[in-house]
Structure 1
Amino acid sequence: MIPVSASLALLLPAFQLLPAFEPPVDPDRGEAQRWAAEELSKPQYASAKPSWIAEIWNQFVDWLRSLNGDSIGGANIGVPLIGALAVVLIVVAVIVVRPRLNARKKTSAKVFDGEPTVDADAFRALASAAASREDWQTAVVEQFRAVVRAAEDRAVIDIQAGRTADEAAAQLGRAFGAASSRLEEAARIFDGVKYGKATATASDHAAVRALDTRLSAMRPDFAGQPANGLAVPR
């Protein structure tokens, strides 16, 4: 039989391994708040916080739920969101993108339809006859043709098949620098009537006719850089 003293000697190392017993601590309110703040300031808690993107998403989900009586769950929230985004993209495409694409596709109308033997005076007569019957669309078209054909007859610009109104205005603008802005405006009116089917007015025809009269009295200065379509002064 093992003596009692020997048994106690054998159990002593085991008791030494047990953690020291501490009495329960009952902190006051301020101490408890301090302990909680110190605990939550540890890195593992900071890394567990949601990112700002997650917070925005959660707020958006809460907003959708408020509109739907909390019937939208987290699993199917992407379905209405994708649908809403698709509608927004379609609206943006219709309002913004499509008109810009159409504008890029638009080209300037050709000045002549194939009247190489008709001189400027003949076009002026056609324009005057159209104006007398208040056919302002025809009057604008024929008057602008008179402007271009007169420049060709004077060798200010070369005769060029398929020349557009924008090209004619640019070439004549380099020959008659002081009238470049009026030439651009006349080309815009011509394109609006001939290509865009716009409605012309008596003032539109009067503006193109005044331009025709002014250019007939001007000497070309050929200001600016030489370009294709400008005739060589003789």
Structure 2
Amino acid sequence: MTAAGAVLGTLTAAPLLPRTGDDPPVTIPRDPAREAAERELSKPMYHENDPGLFQRALNRFWGWVDDLFSAASGATPGGGFGLLVIVLAVALLAGALWWRLGAPRRAAASTPALFDDRPRSAAEHRAAAEAHAAQAHWNQAVQERMRALVRALEERALLDPRPGRTADEAAAEAGRTLPAHTDRLRSAAHAFDDVTYGGRTADQAAYLRLANLDRDLEHTRPVLTNTARTTPSSHPHGAAG
């Protein structure tokens, strides 16, 4: 029993004055005795070794965790060991899903722009991409090659230069004038988004697909949607309308 408990028991259960002779003991009613005990126990001397607020909160938290696991282990076949097996299985499953699916992709509306604030030519982006590829930095190589591809389309006037354009938007717009490459353009934009915003890692094959698409687009004639369509005799090879 603590000192506080001893004081409470003494003040609420024992007579306040000793008996003298045959006189009956002097007592007080229960409620005044309890109030007197509370006043006594409120003195700092009885609380010098009490745990602090943080320690009390921590004790309550660990008590709650212990009760939770005790209840869970009691309801799980195999008790505590069975609960441990289930927790490990769930953790392994979550890790496998994260590795397989990667981080959630952002919506196209909130995807940052394809280019930064430093305008560079398609040739400069290609050179940067090749430099990254030579060092097997495939994420950066994919990013720079996608920028080179889009910048080249802008330089050929197949895309209007527009700040803030995303890779998905560029692929959709380019697909309207280069319909033979619509699927490859869409895949290239997805590869760019995956390594830039999705937390995935590119490889050499992903970069080579983008580089091949970039080279193919250089030799692809656009399909114009206005009345003056491009014909082999009206425009030189590779020129924009």
TM-score between the two structures when normalised by the length of structure 2 = 0.49
- Kept after mapping to 1: 8 A contact 2:105/2:194: no
Unpaired runs of 5+ in structure 1? Answer: 1-98, 225-232
> In the alignment, does 2:237 pair up with 1:220?
no
Q: Paired residue for 1:203?
A: 205
Q: Distance in 1 between matches of 2:155 and 2:218?
A: 11
RMSD over aligned Cα atoms: 2.5
208 and 125 in structure 1: CA distance in 2 versus 1, 3 angstrom threshold? same
Code of the residue aligned with 1:113 in structure 2: it is D
172 and 202 in structure 1: CA distance in 2 versus 1, 3 angstrom threshold? same
Q: Distance in 2 between matches of 1:108 and 1:211?
A: 23
Q: Which residue of 145, 148, 153 corresponds with 2:147?
A: 145
Q: Distance in 2 between matches of 1:223 and 1:177?
A: 11
Deviations 1:182-231 (A, max 9, x none): 0000000000011112100000000000000000011111369xxxxxxx
* Higher gyration radius (CA): 1
TM-score between the two structures when normalised by the length of structure 1 = 0.50
Unpaired runs of 5+ in structure 2? Answer: 1-100, 227-239
Which 4+ residue blocks in structure 1 deviate beyond 6 angstroms?
A: none
- Kept after mapping to 2: 8 A contact 1:176/1:223: no
State percent identity of aligned pairs.
41
Count of aligned residue pairs for this structure pair: 127
Code of the residue aligned with 1:196 in structure 2: it is G
104 and 196 in structure 1: CA distance in 2 versus 1, 3 angstrom threshold? closer
* Within-5 A mapping of 1:1-234: 105=107, 107-116=110-119, 118-222=120-224, 234=241
Q: Distance in 2 between matches of 1:188 and 1:151?
A: 18
- Kept after mapping to 2: 8 A contact 1:177/1:222: no
Deviations 1:108-153 (A, max 9, x none): 342101222x110100000000000000000000000000000000
Q: Distance in 2 between matches of 1:104 and 1:147?
A: 22
